[in-house]
């Protein structure tokens, strides 16, 4: 039943994503095809290698934490886990399936669910913290450009940034402050319960208190293992730089008139796509990602926008699905009938 659900999600992704790309190409199909025929193969290869390094850094961050719980945990195991998580995040709404799959994989790799949940929570702390700092700096550095040139999308991106900022601030605040935790569980949740947004107050309250308690414990671990924290944050910084730079390299590959001076602009614009994607419940944010890309990168011209969209989307999203799906399906350790 679950396999059918995943298969259906993949079909939805391909249908919506394909339709969005087709609509963005419109009557320029022949011109887009010509732009790919004249593309620089060397740049496309470089894009693929850079994007693959994204998955290596993702695995490296996971490996640092995995070794803290299992000394013989290998980088190969962390890569299998990380890329499989990418696959399941990509085919489930709100990227909700990745962590469940990774807990299952950790268990196959000899790390019990209680420890694997801690690892994933620490990875989330590092990633979310770097994401907020990274996008905050980019927005501040290019604020005037975004306000004047991308005013319509900028407000949505700021809203996405504020939500991400509120999440990490709330977690740190709730973990550090008993008063704030009490306010959330006894005031905010009761209000949401009265508004019928939350059905079971007691269960929700217990879950939040447990999550904050777990969060508090992982913060203590990170404070005692600062080098692991620093290394993981550096990995996430590199990851975000890579994923946000893909539209720029796509433009380079397609011989579009862009200079290295515009690199930071491309990083900022692409970061907006991922900030806004947080609102989209469709697996892989299919449809929304393509639509936002067309709005943000319209300055590349009709043909340039459509052709770079296709190349960007394949490299930054579909490539991960292909690699992740193959690795998860073929890895002997994951698919063994017994625990090692």
pLDDT of 12 above 90 = no
Q: How far apart are CA 287 and CA 280, in angstroms?
A: 9
Give the tokens for residue 139. 């927005």
The pLDDT of residue 10: 59
Please give the residue that has the higher pLDDT: either 95 or 38.
38
Q: What is the CA radius of gyration of the chain?
A: 21
The pLDDT of residue 338: 42
* Cβ-based neighbours of 131, under 8 Å, separated by 6 or more: 164, 236, 240
Q: Which of 89-93, 114-118, 160-164 has the least mean pLDDT?
A: 89-93
Q: What is the total residue count of the chain?
A: 340
Summarised one tens digit per residue, pLDDT across range 142-186 is 778 787 877 777 888 888 888 888 888 877 777 677 777 777 777
Q: pLDDT exceeding 70 applies to what percent of the chain?
A: 84
> What distance, in Å, lies between the first and last C-alpha atoms of the chain?
27
The pLDDT of residue 340: 41
Give the tokens for residue 129. 């913290």
pLDDT of 48 above 90 = yes
Q: How far apart are CA 46 and CA 55, in angstroms?
A: 15
Q: Which ranges in 142-256 belong to alpha helices (H)? A: 143-149, 151-176, 178-183, 189-194, 201-224, 226-253
Summarised one tens digit per residue, pLDDT across range 245-268 is 999 999 999 999 899 999 988 998
Q: How far apart are CA 149 and CA 153, in angstroms?
A: 10
What mean pLDDT, rounded, does the chain reach?
Answer: 82
């Amino acid at each position: 039943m679950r396999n059918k659900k995943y298969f259906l999600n993949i079909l939805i992704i391909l249908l919506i994503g394909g339709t969005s790309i087709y609509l963005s190409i419109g009557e320029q199909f022949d011109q887009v095809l010509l732009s790919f025929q004249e593309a620089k193969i060397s740049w496309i290869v470089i894009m693929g290698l850079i994007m693959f390094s994204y998955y290596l850094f993702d695995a490296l961050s996971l490996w640092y934490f995995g070794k803290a719980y299992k000394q013989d945990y290998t980088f190969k195991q962390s890569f299998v886990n990380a890329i499989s998580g990418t696959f399941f995040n990509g085919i489930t709404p709100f990227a909700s399936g990745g962590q469940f799959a990774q807990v299952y994989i950790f268990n196959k790799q000899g790390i019990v669910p209680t420890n694997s949940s801690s690892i994933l929570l620490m990875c989330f702390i590092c990633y979310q913290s770097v994401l907020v700092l990274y996008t905050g700096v980019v927005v501040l550095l290019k604020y005037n450009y975004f306000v004047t040139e991308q005013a319509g999308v900028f407000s949505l991106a700021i809203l996405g940034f504020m939500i991400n900022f509120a999440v990490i601030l709330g977690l740190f605040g709730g973990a550090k402050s008993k008063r704030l935790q009490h306010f959330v569980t006894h005031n905010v949740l009761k209000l949401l319960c009265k508004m019928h947004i939350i059905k079971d107050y007691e269960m929700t309250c217990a879950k939040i208190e447990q999550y904050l308690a777990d969060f508090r414990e992982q913060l203590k671990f990170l404070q005692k293992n600062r080098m692991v924290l620093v290394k993981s944050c550096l990995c996430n910084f590199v990851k975000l730089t890579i994923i946000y730079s893909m539209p720029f390299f796509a433009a380079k590959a397609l011989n579009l008139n862009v200079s290295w001076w515009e690199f930071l602009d491309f990083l900022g614009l692409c970061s907006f796509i991922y900030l806004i994607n947080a609102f989209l419940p469709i697996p892989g944010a299919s449809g929304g990602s393509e639509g936002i890309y067309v709005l943000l990168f319209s300055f590349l011209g009709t043909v340039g926008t459509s052709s770079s969209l296709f190349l960007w989307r394949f490299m930054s999203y579909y490539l991960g699905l292909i690699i992740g799906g193959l690795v998860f399906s073929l890895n002997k350790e994951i698919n063994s009938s017994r625990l090692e």
